[in-house]
Structure 1
């Protein structure tokens, strides 16, 4: 599984996302992938998965098929996201 957190680091939601990422790492021992939608890779990723709202967390299978998506705020719980971590 691949879990990607798409957000802008220079935004009003950045602090909430960084706190979530830190807490997630502490509680699960896993590090989630971060992506900036303004980068080339991030822009392509957002187009493929139709992401237009930030922050967005996407859980993908090993083949790239979307398993779940959480858009905007409030962020999902750590338990909800950790279900998709293998």
Structure 2
């Protein structure tokens, strides 16, 4: 499984996302993949999965199939996301 957090680091919600990522890492010992929608890779990723709202957390299977998607605020709970890690 792959879990990706797509957000802009220079935004109003960036602090909430960074706090979530830090807390997630502390509680689960896992690190989530981060991606900016403004990078070339991030832009392509957002087009493929039709992501237009940020922050978005997306869980994908090993084959790239969408498993779950959380858009905008409030962010999901750590236990919801940790199921997919």
TM-score by length of 2: 1.00
Residue of structure 2 equivalent to 1:6 = 6
Counterpart of 1:59 in structure 2 is 59
Question: C-alpha deviations, 1:17-72, integer Å up to 9, x for none?
Answer: 00000000000000000000000000000000000000000000000000000000
Please, which runs of 5 or more residues in structure 1 have no aligned partner?
none
**Which residue is 1:20 aligned to?**
20
User: SS of the residue aligned with 2:10?
Assistant: coil
RMSD: 0.2
Q: Which residue is 1:82 aligned to?
A: 82
TM-score using structure 1 length: 0.98
Q: Which runs of 4+ in 1 moved over 2 A?
A: none
Which runs of 5 or more residues in structure 2 are unaligned? none
How many residue pairs were aligned? Answer: 85
